[in-house]
């Protein structure tokens, strides 16, 4: 009996240790399970295919005022001015209820999160260089990334979401772009789809030469021999990604083989930088002023490790303490704006066009 109790205590202790060490991943799996619809993808109801000729199927368009037009209060750029470059921005997951495998297109809360959070904190970083186009799409429920069902519900949900993204991109190219250079950008699920779009519809086509860069941030992107990883601040026709977390975070979106480009240096020869290199972080929910020297960062084992955080504005951790996934853009907002100007100007100069002056 004593031996049994000892063994039981040891096993219980081990389970507690494992539960603590892997608390964030286990919490995510539990959350994914809670969000999983109680019906198969085949039996689910879905919104009709989006008609991208309708302005309300876009979260951002350059010829109207929307949340992608916001700027920090020290800037005076006219974000409605026509730019020589476009950005096709794909938003991350904002649909979390467990009712459907894919977001109903008119789901109010999901669309408000896209507007008030994503367009302001992420897509607006591009409004100094580019005309911002951001489609709404039948995004996959977060549970799709954790699904292991025999019916492959999650993969079908992700495929449907990508179908919308690809349809929006084709509409963008055929009706909005007018032959201009463009940038592909996104975050999290948006980068997952953007990475697939890059590989299936851009690389190896005539569009490839017009793509300045792909900012596929916040997803574990694997390097692909068909597209270069950006190694300098002005390199073009290349891909960028990072996943930000502190060194002791229990969970990281970045993996050892993930692409990591440091947004404080944009230079593979300089993988680390202190907070002094940070030109300004901002989350518009906390105000319209940037916080200079907010945090330093270093690319290590496929992760962007944050050090020296100097701000209390970035304190919401839905993926566990130390995981700054939702702030992948916000923490480096002004560095991103600066780099976009440099990279776009380099591309236009190479193409013999006027350089960007803003």
Rounded mean pLDDT of 239-243? 98
Structure tokens at 139: 């995004």
- Determine the pLDDT at residue 209: 96
Give the HSE-up count for residue 192: Cα atoms under 13 Å, Cβ half-sphere. Answer: 18
Q: What is the dihedral of CA 112, 96, 158, 40, to 10 degrees?
A: -130
CATH architecture for residues 40-260+338-350? 3-Layer(aba) Sandwich (3.40)
User: Of all residues in the chain, what percent carry a pLDDT higher than 90?
Assistant: 84
Task: Evaluate whether 195 touches 165 at the Cβ level (below 8 Å).
Answer: no
Q: Do 329 and 299 contact (CB within 8 A), yes or no?
A: no
Residue 35's pLDDT band, with cuts at 50, 70 and 90, is confident
Question: What pLDDT does residue 149 have?
Answer: 83
Tell me which residue of 273, 298, 284, 286 sits closest to 329, measured CA to CA. 284
- Distance (Å, whole) CA 232 – CA 219: 21
- Interval 54-102: pLDDT, tens: 999 999 999 999 999 999 999 876 656 789 999 999 999 999 988 999 9
Q: With beta carbons less than 8 A apart as the criterion, state whether 248 and 237 touch.
A: no
Would you state the pLDDT for residue 12?
A: 30
The full set of domain ranges for the chain reads: 40-260+338-350
Q: What pLDDT is stored for residue 50 in this prediction?
A: 98
How does pLDDT run across 155-211, given as a tens digit for each residue? Answer: 999 999 999 999 999 999 999 999 999 999 999 999 999 999 999 999 999 999 999
- How large is the greatest C-alpha to C-alpha distance in the chain, in angstroms? 84
308-357 pLDDT tens trace: 999 999 999 999 999 999 999 999 999 999 999 999 999 999 987 544 43
* pLDDT given at position 313: 96
Instruction: Please write the tens of the pLDDT for every residue from 102-153.
Output: 999 999 999 999 999 999 999 999 999 999 999 999 999 999 999 888 889 9
Are 214 and 201 within 8 A, CB to CB? no
- Six token digits for residue 11: 């096993």
pLDDT tens sequence across 256-300 = 999 999 999 999 999 999 999 999 999 999 999 999 999 999 999
Q: Angle between the 189-197 and 153-171 helix axes, to the nearest 10 degrees? A: 60
Distance (Å, rounded) from C-alpha 104 to C-alpha 136? 10
**What pLDDT does residue 254 have?**
94
Q: What is the mean pLDDT of residues 38-47?
A: 93
């Amino acid at each position: 009996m004593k031996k049994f109790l000892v063994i039981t205590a040891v096993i219980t202790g081990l389970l507690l240790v494992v539960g603590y060490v892997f608390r964030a991943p286990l919490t995510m799996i539990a959350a994914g399970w809670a969000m999983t619809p109680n019906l198969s993808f085949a039996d689910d109801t879905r919104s009709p295919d989006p008609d991208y000729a309708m302005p309300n199927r876009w979260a951002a368009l350059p010829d109207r005022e929307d949340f992608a037009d916001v700027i920090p209060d020290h800037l005076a750029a006219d974000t409605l001015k026509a730019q020589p470059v476009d950005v096709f921005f794909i938003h991350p997951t904002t649909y979390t209820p467990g009712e459907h495998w894919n977001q109903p297109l008119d789901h109010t809360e999901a669309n408000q999160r896209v507007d008030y959070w994503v367009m302001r904190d992420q897509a607006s970083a591009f409004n100094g260089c580019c005309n911002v186009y951001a489609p709404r799409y039948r995004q996959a429920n977060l549970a799709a990334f954790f699904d292991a069902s025999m019916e492959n519900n999650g993969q079908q949900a992700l495929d449907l979401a990508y179908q919308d993204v690809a349809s929006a991109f084709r509409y963008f190219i055929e009706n909005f772009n007018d032959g201009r250079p463009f940038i592909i950008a996104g975050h999290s699920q948006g980068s997952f789809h953007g990475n697939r779009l890059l590989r299936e519809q851009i690389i190896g086509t005539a569009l490839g030469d017009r793509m300045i860069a792909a900012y596929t941030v916040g997803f574990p992107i694997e390097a692909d021999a068909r597209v270069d990883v950006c190694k300098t601040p002005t390199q073009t026709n290349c891909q960028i990604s990072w996943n930000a977390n502190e060194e002791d975070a229990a969970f990281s979106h970045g993996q050892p083989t993930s692409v990591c480009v440091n947004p404080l240096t944009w230079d593979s020869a300089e993988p680390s930088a202190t907070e002094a290199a940070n030109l300004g972080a901002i989350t518009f929910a906390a105000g319209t002023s940037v916080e200079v020297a907010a945090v330093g960062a270093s690319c290590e084992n496929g992760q962007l490790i944050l050090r020296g955080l100097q701000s209390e504005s970035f304190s919401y951790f839905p993926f566990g303490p130390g995981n700054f996934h939702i702030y992948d853009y916000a923490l480096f907002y002004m560095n991103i704006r600066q780099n976009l100007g440099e990279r776009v100007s380099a591309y236009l100069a190479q193409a013999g066009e006027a350089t960007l002056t803003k």
